[in-house]
Amino acid sequence: MNFYKKIISLSAIQSFVCLVTIVICFLFFLQADLIHTATSSYAYLQGHIFDFYEYNKMLLGGNDYLPTLYVIFSLWNMPIHFLDLTSLQTLNNFQWDLATPFEIAWWKTLLALFYIGTVVLIHKIASLIQTPHKTDLSLVSTLFATSPFVIFSVFIFSGYDVISVFFTLLGFYYYLKKDIKRFIFFFAIAISCKYFAAILFFPLILMIEKRPLHIAKLLALGSLAVVLGLCFYWKSEIFREEIFNLMLYKIKGNAPRDITLNNQLSLAISLIRFSFASLYIAACIHIFFKKFKSKTEWQKYAVFMSLFSYALMFLLVKWHPQWSIIIMPFISLSYLFIKNKRLLSIFEIIAMFSFVCAVVIISKFNVDVSMITHSVLKNILPKVLIINADLIPGIESIWKYVSVLIFDFYLFLPLLILFSESRNASKAKTTSPSQALIVSRLILGVSFLVIPSFICLFMPENWALYINPDALMRLNNH
């Protein structure tokens, strides 16, 4: 209990309210990607080690990731596999969404454990950082643990990006301790889980190493897990197609999906993306030549360069809703360096509302009330007639683009606040979010998706048909 109070600065009642909110999300929501990935991992337990990608291509439609994630899920699945508590016997051609409620709860428990581990790591990292002004270290880990973006990614969407985040932060922790071997090792694992950890790895290397040959050596070591995975399965044509097709799809960027791009628009989007990429390269060049005056300055650059790199990534690629968690550790750590902490917490509520508006429009029948149909409680809940997007008034395209813009602004907000405070240091006042604001931020942020989803789930049929006369026809089509 003392350890919990050291990490989470909330009262017992407030902690209980947060826990109830998380449990509701745990039981009622799940996006189907987790089922596909976790079910795919059974192939290793069945002995399909060398033909893993061919076997799952035939049975489940294919796999998009390197072996690391599947190995982790395979290890976690060992107890239920050997106790014969799986849905394997019901699997057939591409019908992979047949997981039992027990399996779903088991997989989400793994994500919950990585979530807890990540919260602990955030606190340990914060304890290493020398701050220019006094900050309650438990505030940083509490803000991460109660972030609506984090709860969305781990317990609503049920995304496994938290696994990559955990290993990224483990590497970052040893980076701040200047334990380069462990820093390289854990970043190598993180990169092999999801490639985006490499976006941080490169600038962090440039901050500690200035010799070109040594930089190349460290980068090679950091990519070793990826290289080993590629070499092990390189002979598999299916493996090469699946892995690189996903990568190319994400790199194509955030071009609008509902329009046909003409040459002028394509050129404009390419120039914008080139500008963002140039900013990243310029920042890397800057820190390569930067001479840090103190340990505090070096640590601040490590946090904010990581935040800046991820924020640019969201502008450059076709991001996925579950990715919201990857930048949140560094937004949380930014509280150590900015004074107006309350403003950042308040704006997170606005950003979460915008984020939810964007994803329920962009990802209809995928990241909305439809997630309830895959949840732990899926077998006892009614069928869904309407979706969250049906409840949003006005022109969807305007809601979508404005919402994405507000969310993107939030990702850069810590940098903007830091810049503003550095320009007006004498006028900047220190403000911290109250415990009530921290809890309200979680409940409000989560409710933007949960409450409309419950409205859609339990709405009487005549009301649903009034809102959308095509609801029954659409239900049959999906």
* pLDDT tens per residue across all 478 residues of the chain: 677 888 999 999 999 999 999 999 999 999 999 999 999 999 999 999 999 999 999 888 889 899 999 999 999 999 999 998 888 766 665 566 789 999 999 999 999 999 999 999 999 999 999 877 667 789 999 999 999 999 999 999 999 999 999 999 999 999 999 999 999 999 999 999 999 999 999 999 999 999 999 999 999 999 999 999 999 999 999 998 888 776 666 555 544 444 444 566 566 667 777 888 899 999 999 999 999 999 999 999 999 999 999 999 999 888 889 999 999 999 999 999 999 999 999 999 999 999 999 999 999 999 999 999 999 999 999 988 899 999 887 666 677 889 999 999 999 999 999 999 998 877 778 899 999 999 999 999 999 999 999 999 999 989 988 888 887 666 666 6
Structural contact between residues 206 and 302, judged by C-beta atoms closer than 8 angstroms? no
- pTM recorded for the entire structure: 0.93
Cβ neighbour number for residue 364 with a 10 Å cutoff: 17
| The two structure tokens encoding residue 318 | 């076709």
Structural contact between residues 163 and 193, judged by C-beta atoms closer than 8 angstroms? yes
pLDDT at position 474 is 66
- In whole angstroms, give the CA distance from residue 100 to residue 105: 9
Torsion over CA: 101, 106, 112, 118 (sign): negative
- In whole angstroms, give the CA distance from residue 299 to residue 380: 50
For the chain, what's the residue count? 478
Instruction: Find the domain containing 109 and state its range.
Output: 2-477
- Read off φ and ψ for residue 252, nearest 5 degrees: -60, -25
Buried b (16+ CB within 10 A) or exposed e, 17-48: bbeebbeebbbbbbbbbbbbbbbbbbbbbeee
Cβ neighbour number for residue 13 with a 10 Å cutoff: 9
Cα 166–chain centre separation: 11
Report the number of distinct structural domains present in the chain.
1
- In whole angstroms, give the CA distance from residue 385 to residue 364: 13
Determine the Cα angle at 324 with ends 14 and 125, to 5°: 65
- In whole angstroms, give the CA distance from residue 213 to residue 215: 5
Structural contact between residues 397 and 321, judged by C-beta atoms closer than 8 angstroms? no
Any residues with CB less than 8 A from the CB of 392 and at least 6 apart, and which?
Answer: 357, 360, 361, 399
pLDDT at position 265 is 57
- In whole angstroms, give the CA distance from residue 85 to residue 104: 12
pLDDT at position 425 is 75
pLDDT at position 290 is 95
| The two structure tokens encoding residue 247 | 């990568």
- Collapsing DSSP to helix, strand or coil, 11 comes out as coil
Cβ neighbour number for residue 78 with a 10 Å cutoff: 12
| The two structure tokens encoding residue 192 | 């092999």
- Collapsing DSSP to helix, strand or coil, 340 comes out as strand
- Collapsing DSSP to helix, strand or coil, 431 comes out as strand
Beta bridge partners of 340: 431
- Tell me whether residue 403 is exposed, middle or buried, using C-beta atoms within 10 angstroms of its C-beta: 0 to 12, 13 to 18, 19 or more: buried
Instruction: From residue 330, give the alpha-carbon distance in Å to each of 85, 125, 388.
Output: 39, 11, 30
User: One-letter amino acid identity for 151?
Assistant: I
Structural contact between residues 186 and 174, judged by C-beta atoms closer than 8 angstroms? yes
Cβ neighbour number for residue 438 with a 10 Å cutoff: 22
